[in-house]
């Protein structure tokens, strides 16, 4: 990644991070893989559907997942949001604290909020720029938000900033990593 303007933004050794890219479209999956290779990533696994993604995740060697929302070739009716739910909530998930980046053309506020409320770490709208993708990926890896467990939600704190003027009860319950 030498000479790239984004090299100075974050010092992340991508060669030590294992990625899972869940994308039903081969070309889009290849594009994400190419960007990760440009960042010096060494381990990139790919899945095109829910079942394949879950099988790869169960092995327990994935550090970061990048998933498409719509898994259009999926026969089970499951989508990227179902994978996020599995990672965050299923007892069989080897790493519920894993950074998850959702990439999708569904960039309307409703979709962004639903992804956030499911436990997605970062959201990237397609079409994306390499810089935009890198910025979100770096944020998920280098500056992860604290995880919380509140009623029916487990995942990164959905609030991006704290308010110094808030004088109500503290409702954030920190979740401790295993």
pLDDT digits (tens, 9 = 90+) for 106-116: 889 998 889 98
Strands (E), 84-141: 100-104, 122-125
pLDDT tens digit sequence for 5-59: 454 446 899 999 999 999 999 999 999 999 999 999 999 999 999 999 999 999 9
Q: Do 53 and 63 form a contact (C-beta atoms < 8 A)?
A: no
Q: Do 133 and 28 form a contact (C-beta atoms < 8 A)?
A: no
Domains belonging to the chain, first-starting first, are: 5-145 (3.40.50.2300)
Phi/psi for 44 (5° steps) reads -135, 115
State residue 153's pLDDT score.
Answer: 82
Say how many C-beta atoms besides its own lie within 10 A of residue 35's C-beta. 17
Neighbour-count burial for 88-108, b at 16+ CB within 10 Å, e otherwise? beeeebebbbbbbbbbbebee
């Amino acid at each position: 990644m030498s000479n790239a303007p984004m090299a100075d933004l974050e010092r992340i050794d991508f060669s030590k991070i294992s990625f899972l890219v869940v994308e039903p479209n081969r070309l889009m999956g290849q594009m994400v893989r190419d960007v990760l290779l440009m960042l010096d990533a060494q381990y990139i696994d790919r899945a095109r559907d829910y079942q394949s993604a879950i099988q790869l995740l169960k092995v327990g060697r994935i550090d970061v997942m990048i998933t498409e929302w719509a898994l259009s070739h999926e026969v089970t009716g499951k989508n990227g949001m179902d994978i996020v739910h599995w990672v965050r909530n299923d007892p069989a998930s080897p790493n519920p604290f894993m950074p998850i980046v959702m990439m999708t053309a569904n960039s309307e506020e409703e979709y962004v909020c639903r992804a956030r409320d499911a436990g997605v770490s970062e959201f990237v709208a397609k079409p994306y720029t390499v810089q935009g993708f890198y910025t979100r990926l770096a944020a998920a890896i280098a500056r992860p938000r604290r995880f919380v467990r509140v009623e029916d939600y487990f995942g990164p704190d959905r609030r991006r900033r704290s308010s110094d003027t808030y004088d109500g009860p503290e409702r954030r319950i920190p979740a401790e990593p295993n």
